[in-house]
Amino acid sequence: MIKPLAVSSLVIAAYVAGLIWLIPGDALLPFLLLVLSLLSLCTLILYALDKRAAVHQRQRIPEKTLHLLALAGGWPGALLARPLFRHKTRKQPFSLLFWCSAMLSGGLLLVFLIVDPAAPARAWLNDEVRHWYLFVQQSLSR
């Protein structure tokens, strides 16, 4: 039997591989991976806190907060957290909304990365990230 945590890990690995393939040597790739990793980590931590609150019958984190974090790009963290903490895996409306959030998040990022009308926004963001890298390098070298 395939374990859900293994499947989640494979899905996330495929997602990261897809991002690496879609974003050639730009400064944008490390920036996006950092931002998405931080969002995923925050989402995973909130799932853990919500599970703990559920076990101890304390105030819970609203489901819409968890869905918004998934939609913002933190869905890989949620995907890992669900089987890891055995949390929010059986509740059907939540699962459906989670998968919709994950697909919409990935779809919007895909559109941003490959559609021609988004090219000026990509170029602007890439330039901003490069300026930020230079600023950080100069600040660290002082």
pLDDT in tens, the chain (142 residues): 578 788 888 889 998 888 888 887 677 888 888 999 999 999 999 999 999 998 999 999 999 999 999 999 999 999 999 888 887 767 778 888 989 999 999 999 999 988 999 989 988 998 999 999 899 889 998 7
Amino acid at the residue 109:
L
2 to 5, 8, 76, 83, 99: CA distances (angstroms): 9, 11, 19, 12, 19
- Identify how many contiguous H helices and E strands the chain contains and give both numbers: 6, 0
| Domain range for 68 | 4-141
Cα-based torsion angle of the residue sequence 55, 57, 59, 65 in order, rounded to the nearest 10 degrees = 30
Check: CB of residue 102 under 8 Å from CB of residue 8: no
Q: Is the pTM of this model over 0.75?
A: yes
Please tell me the predicted confidence (pLDDT) of residue 85. 86
Please tell me the predicted confidence (pLDDT) of residue 87. 74
Rounded Cα–Cα distance for residues 104 and 100 (Å) = 6
Neighbours of 50 (CB within 10 A): 22
How many structural domains is the chain composed of? 1
